[in-house]
């Protein structure tokens, strides 16, 4: 066991370090604030509250993190000496914001009631919220995503003016590289060809991107409807076709999986790739909590994982052409699990910090700041002086550590998780912060248990066989350029 000790150092200035921390698990949190952490290399470290606060800001993926000189730099250097923090040069910090510009929506989906609590804030104040954040992060790499509700309802009044103000037209301007804008939409307004054409102009001029959510094919989409009960599927699909027509090809698509769509992931993938010319999508399950309609139509976890496994095998069959990788269709959900398996680190905040409340924030219409879009806790308000550069309070960092510890040691209250060889990076059902909001303090006992053991065993067999091109077929963005993935298989 290694005890990290530091001396008091005076904070003189802030330094930015582009760093990544090795996968770790919080073993326990003591009453005196000490945190026991075990890293993937077997090293166990005990940190005091201040040291853990510094370490908790370092994500499992590379990101630029601000450190004050003095004690924070000393903690960072100690972690680097232990070989659990790695650093490369990068000049600017990076942030990701989800701005829920409205709770209003043009749909009344049976599993979403965001629209039922409309915001009470003026359009002018909403613009001020966004401007303050963008001014605050002027020296950072920033991804700013408009969310809702349905953000396209405010395209003309808020989104377009902000994009025009902050993104210059010069294609090689530093601002074009530093700042990216996006939207997450239900796609309905794009069914209006004039609106789709207008958005396409902003996509081309300013790099404004869009993601669209759908529940699958027409027979899966009955939960998405207008206030009068009219189904929404035809409008969304027409919107996607209109965007393609005007040159917006790189759509980020999310399939919200319900009890119908969970039966046919391969059918959905074939339909998306052949009929809609969409070759990648996430598959996000409904969670059985809250409104009765959500509980009634949430997918069975076993069905969800079985269909994911079938789709993974389909991807291997269809994404390999001789000794080359192609992208007939890629589930980014599967890609995340392949990467987690290889890195031995979950892509959600189960065993390590995910960036919530440090580099990732969700902003409510009134300026309330949350650590992520899955959380209900408030960190402050943009209009009342919240500062993105101020670290989260130590007690909150410790609470998140405790939360991850509970989740990673007994996910869903199932003892068999404790002896599972994949526990270190299995998400067990999703984001702990999100599940905590849905199910309360003992969420790990109540939340649906997504056991990925059979899926990880499938990946293990591929790794053991040495036919690693199959992994690249499921995660081509990250793996096909790596030197250990040889064309035609083998290591």
Q: How far apart are CA 171 and CA 159, in angstroms?
A: 20
Give the pLDDT confidence score for residue 110 in this predicted structure.
87
**Separation between Cα atoms, residue 242 and residue 246, nearest integer Å:** 6
- Strand pairing category for 360-363 and 94-100: parallel
Query: What does the block give as tokens for 157?
Result: 């009044």
Nearest to 260 by CA among 110, 128, 391, 370: 110
- Predicted confidence at residue 175, as pLDDT, reads 67
Q: How far is CA 77 from CA 9, 50, 73, 87, 153, in A?
A: 13, 15, 6, 10, 48
Nearest CA among 403, 406, 411 for reference residue 433: 403
DSSP codes of every residue in 163-181: HHHHS-S-TT-HHHHHEEE
Q: What's the number of CA atoms in the CB half-sphere (13 Å) around residue 118? A: 6
- Helix (H) / strand (E) containing 339: helix 332-343
| pTM summary value | 0.81
Burial of 156 (0-12, 13-18, 19+ CB in 10 A): exposed
Per-residue pLDDT of the chain (491 residues; tens, 9 = 90+): 344 444 444 434 667 787 888 877 777 778 787 888 888 777 888 888 778 878 877 776 666 677 777 888 888 898 888 888 888 776 566 788 999 999 999 999 988 877 778 888 999 999 999 999 999 988 788 999 999 999 999 999 999 999 999 997 656 666 667 899 999 999 999 999 999 999 999 999 999 999 999 999 999 999 999 999 999 999 999 999 999 999 998 888 999 999 999 999 999 999 999 999 999 999 999 887 666 777 889 999 999 999 999 999 999 999 998 888 888 999 999 998 888 787 666 655 544 456 677 788 999 999 999 988 878 889 999 999 999 887 777 677 666 666 655 555 445 456 677 778 887 777 776 777 777 777 777 776 777 788 899 999 999 999 888 888 898 899 887 664 443 333 333 32
Residue 309: its pLDDT value, please?
97
Alpha carbon distances (Å) from 436 to 156, 373, 432: 36, 13, 6
The Cα–Cα gap between 7 and 48 comes to 12
Running DSSP on this structure, what letter comes out for residue 443?
H
- Assigned CATH topology for domain 94-384: TIM Barrel (3.20.20)
Cα-flanking dihedrals φ and ψ of residue 251, to 5°?
A: -85, 140
Q: Parse the chain into domains and list their residue ranges.
A: 2-88, 94-384, 402-453
């Amino acid at each position: 066991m290694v005890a990290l000790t530091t001396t008091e150092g005076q904070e003189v200035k802030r330094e930015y370090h582009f760093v990544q921390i090795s996968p770790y698990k919080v073993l326990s949190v003591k009453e005196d604030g000490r945190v026991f952490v075990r890293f993937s290399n077997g090293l166990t470290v005990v940190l005091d509250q201040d040291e853990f606060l510094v370490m908790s800001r370092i994500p499992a993926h590379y990101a630029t993190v601000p450190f004050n000189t003095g004690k924070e730099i000393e903690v960072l250097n100690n972690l680097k000496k232990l070989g659990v923090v790695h650093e490369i040069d990068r000049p600017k910090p990076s942030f990701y914001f989800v701005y829920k510009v409205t709770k209003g929506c043009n749909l009344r989906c049976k599993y979403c009631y965001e629209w039922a609590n409309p915001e009470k804030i003026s359009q002018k104040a909403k613009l001020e919220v966004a401007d303050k954040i963008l001014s605050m992060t002027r020296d950072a790499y920033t991804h700013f995503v408009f969310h809702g509700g349905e953000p396209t309802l405010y395209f003309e009044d808020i989104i377009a003016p902000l994009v025009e103000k902050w993104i210059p037209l010069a294609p090689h301007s530093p601002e074009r590289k530093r700042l990216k804008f996006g939207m997450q939409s239900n796609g309905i307004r794009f069914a209006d060809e004039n609106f789709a054409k207008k958005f396409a102009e902003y996509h081309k001029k300013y790099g404004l991107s869009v993601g669209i959510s759908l529940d699958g094919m027409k027979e899966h989409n009955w939960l998405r409807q207008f206030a009068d009960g009219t189904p929404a599927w035809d409008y969304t699909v027409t919107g996607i076709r209109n965007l393609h027509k005007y040159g917006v090809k790189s759509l980020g698509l999310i399939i919200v999986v319900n009890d119908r769509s969970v039966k046919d992931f391969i059918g959905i993938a074939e339909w998306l790739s052949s009929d809609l010319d969409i070759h990648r999508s996430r598959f996000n399950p409904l969670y059985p909590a809250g409104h009765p309609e959500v509980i009634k139509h949430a997918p069975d976890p076993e069905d969800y994982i079985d269909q994911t496994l079938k789709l993974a095998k389909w991807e291997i069959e269809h994404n390999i052409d001789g000794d080359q990788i192609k992208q007939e269709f890629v589930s980014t959900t599967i890609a995340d699990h392949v990467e987690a398996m290889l890195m031995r680190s979950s892509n959600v905040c189960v065993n390590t910090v995910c960036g919530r409340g440090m580099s990732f924030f969700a902003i409510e219409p009134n300026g309330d700041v949350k650590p992520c879009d899955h959380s209900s806790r408030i960190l402050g308000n943009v209009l009342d002086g919240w500062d993105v550069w101020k670290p989260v309070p130590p007690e909150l960092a410790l609470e998140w550590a405790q939360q991850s510890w509970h989740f990673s040691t007994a996910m869903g209250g199932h003892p068999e998780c404790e002896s599972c060889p994949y526990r270190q990076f299995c998400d067990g059902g999703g984001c702990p912060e999100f599940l905590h909001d849905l199910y309360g303090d003992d969420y790990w006992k109540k939340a649906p248990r997504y056991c990925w053991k059979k899926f990880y065993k499938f990946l293990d067999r591929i790794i053991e066989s040495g036919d690693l091109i199959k992994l690249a077929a499921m995660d081509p963005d990250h793996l096909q350029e790596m030197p250990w993935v040889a064309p035609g298989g083998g290591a």
